[in-house]
Amino acid sequence: MNMKSMLLGLVAATSMMVSTQVLASGGDMHLKHAEINVADQEQLLRGLTVFTDVCMGCHSAKYVTYKGLMDYPELGISREMADELRGDKALTSGMTTDLSPEDAKESYGKVPPDLSLIVPGRRGGADYIYSLLTGYTHDPAGKVADGNYNEVFPGHLIAMPDPLSWLDHDEADTADLEKQANDVSAFLAFIGDPHQNERRAIGGYVMGFLLLLALVLFLLKREIWKDVH
């Protein structure tokens, strides 16, 4: 294999990795883009607060335990913070809502899904969550009541009441609501795949190593062939 085809191979491998990332993040034209950074501690902690203060009124993230929260360097959660968050729940308990499935059914007609794996589980991922939270609007056909019409929810009729009060917000609050929606989307994207930062770092080292290897092989090849004309 000569240097040219080796380089071409590397370029092809890199672009394949990039394009699967793009595909995995969903190509839906109607979704808004979520401004998230799953390595940004401040955003993740703000998102955690939105999650515990608002979403956990109805939803759980049962695969994330309070103890588990302390294990991620991205969050930097101390034992005191974990104790404060868990209240009288055990440290090893998952983040579960106090709303029982029966009461949820009675109030909303549906049991709110667990959100631990919602970002990897929905097409569009964090963009979908962000678009959903900011997607409450008036039904253009005037059929669905305000608060149950969502522009990105499949079928548009959603049982979740507008959790950030997007619909009856003051125009001045728009930026604030967008921020809350972004922050909680970042938190959900993080817990849905908590090793993604680590994996990305390893991916960087691997690519660096491969490039270095390519260079060494190229120099070696030149050395071996230098007397052959």
Which residues make up the interface to ligand HEC (CB under 6 A)? 50, 54-55, 57-59, 108, 110, 112-113, 115, 118, 122, 129, 132-133, 153, 158-161, 163-164, 184
CA pair distance 146, 139, nearest whole angstrom: 7
Cα 196 to chain centroid, rounded: 10
Nearer to ligand HEC, 142 or 154 (CB): 154
To the nearest whole angstrom, how small is the minimum distance from the Cβ of residue 139 to ligand HEC?
15
CA pair distance 118, 141, nearest whole angstrom: 29
To the nearest whole angstrom, how small is the minimum distance from the Cβ of residue 135 to ligand HEC?
10
Output the DSSP codes for 71-139. T-TTT---HHHHHHHHTTS-TTSEE--SS-HHHHHHHHSSPPPP-TTHHHHSTTHHHHHHHHHT-B---
Nearer to ligand HEC, 65 or 185 (CB): 185
Nearer to ligand HEC, 32 or 59 (CB): 59
To the nearest whole angstrom, how small is the minimum distance from the Cβ of residue 187 to ligand HEC?
9
Nearer to ligand HEC, 75 or 132 (CB): 132
To the nearest whole angstrom, how small is the minimum distance from the Cβ of residue 111 to ligand HEC?
7
Dihedral (CA of 140, 143, 145, 150) sign: negative
